[in-house]
Amino acid sequence: MQSNQVRLEQLGTYPFERLKALFSGHIRNIDLTPIDAGAGEPRLPLPSFVAETIASNLDGFSKYPSTVGSPQLRQAIADWLEKRYGLQHVDAASQVLSANGTREALFAIAHALINPEANPKPNVLMPNPMYQIYLGAALTAGGNPVFLPCTADNRFAPDLEAVAESVWRNTALVYVCSPSNPTGWIADADYFTRLLALADEHDFYIVSDECYSEIYWDEKPVGLLQVAESLGRDGFSRCLVMNSLSKRSALPGMRSGLIAGDAQLIKRFAKLRSYTGPATPLPLQAVAAAAWSDETHVQDHLAVYRQSLQAFFDIYGGIDDGKIPAGSFFVWLPVEDDEAFAVAAYEQQAVTILPGSYLSATDADGVNPGSGFIRAALVDGPERAAELARRLCAVRI
Contact segment (CB under 6 A) with ligand PLP among 95-103, 135-143, 149-157, 359-367 equals 95-103
Is position 356 an interface residue for ligand PLP (rule: CB under 6 A)?
no
CB of 26 to ligand PLP, least distance (A): 25
Is position 70 an interface residue for ligand PLP (rule: CB under 6 A)?
no
According to CB under 6 A, which residues from 223 to 252 bind ligand PLP?
244, 246, 252
Q: Taking the CB of residue 231, how many other CB atoms lie within 10 A of it?
A: 12
Q: Which is nearer to ligand PLP, 128 or 244 (CB)?
A: 244
The three-state (H, E, C) secondary structure of the chain, written as one string? CCCHHHHHHHCCCCHHHHHHHHHCCCCCCCCCCCEECCCCCCCCCCCCHHHHHHHCCHHHHHCCCCCCCCHHHHHHHHHHHHHHHCCCCCCHHHHEEEECCHHHHHHHHHHHHCCCCCCCCCEEEEEECCCCHHHHHHHHCCCEEEEEECCHHHCCCCCHHHCCHHHHHCEEEEEEECCCCCCCCCCCHHHHHHHHHHHHHHCCEEEEECCCCCCECCCCCCCHHHHHHHCCCCCCCCEEEEEEHHHHCCCHHHCCEEEEECHHHHHHHHHHHHHHCCCCCHHHHHHHHHHHCCCHHHHHHHHHHHHHHHHHHHHHCCHHHCCCCCECCEEEEECCCHHHHHHHHHHHHCEECEEHHHHCCCCCCCCCCCCCEEEEECCCCHHHHHHHHHHHHHCCC
Binder to ligand PLP among 81, 97, 211, 291 (CB under 6 A)?
211
According to CB under 6 A, which residues from 153 to 182 bind ligand PLP?
177, 181
CB of 6 to ligand PLP, least distance (A): 26
Q: Which is nearer to ligand PLP, 90 or 242 (CB)?
A: 242
Q: Which is nearer to ligand PLP, 130 or 386 (CB)?
A: 130
Contact segment (CB under 6 A) with ligand PLP among 98-106, 226-234, 266-274, 334-342 equals 98-106
CB of 340 to ligand PLP, least distance (A): 25
Binder to ligand PLP among 85, 131, 156, 346 (CB under 6 A)?
131
Contact segment (CB under 6 A) with ligand PLP among 61-69, 100-108, 113-121, 224-232 equals 100-108
According to CB under 6 A, which residues from 265 to 324 bind ligand PLP?
none
Is position 76 an interface residue for ligand PLP (rule: CB under 6 A)?
no
25, 19, 127: which is closest to 369 by C-alpha?
127
C-alpha torsion angle, residues 380, 385, 389, 390 (rounded to 10): -100
- b/e per residue 319-330 (b: at least 16 CB within 10 A): eeeebbbbbbbb
Q: Which is nearer to ligand PLP, 102 or 171 (CB)?
A: 102
Q: What is the rounded distance in angstroms from the CA atom of residue 238 to the CA atom of residue 101?
A: 22
Q: Which is nearer to ligand PLP, 181 or 349 (CB)?
A: 181
Is position 128 an interface residue for ligand PLP (rule: CB under 6 A)?
no
CB of 182 to ligand PLP, least distance (A): 8
Using CA of residue 159, residue 355, residue 180, residue 206, what is the dihedral sign? positive
CB of 58 to ligand PLP, least distance (A): 24
Contact segment (CB under 6 A) with ligand PLP among 102-110, 158-166, 216-224, 388-396 equals 102-110
Is position 102 an interface residue for ligand PLP (rule: CB under 6 A)?
yes
The site map against ligand PLP for 36-55 (x = CB under 6 A) is ----x---------------
CB of 105 to ligand PLP, least distance (A): 8
Is position 15 an interface residue for ligand PLP (rule: CB under 6 A)?
no
Please work out the total of residues on this chain that contact ligand PLP, with binding judged by CB under 6 A: 14
Query: What's the distance, CA 320 to chain centroid?
Result: 26
Q: Which is nearer to ligand PLP, 244 or 357 (CB)?
A: 244
Binder to ligand PLP among 141, 176, 209, 311 (CB under 6 A)?
209
Give the contacts of 66 (CB within 8 A, at least 6 positions apart).
279
Q: Which is nearer to ligand PLP, 168 or 292 (CB)?
A: 292
Interaction site with ligand PLP (CB under 6 A) = 40, 101-103, 106, 131, 177, 181, 209, 211, 244, 246, 252, 257
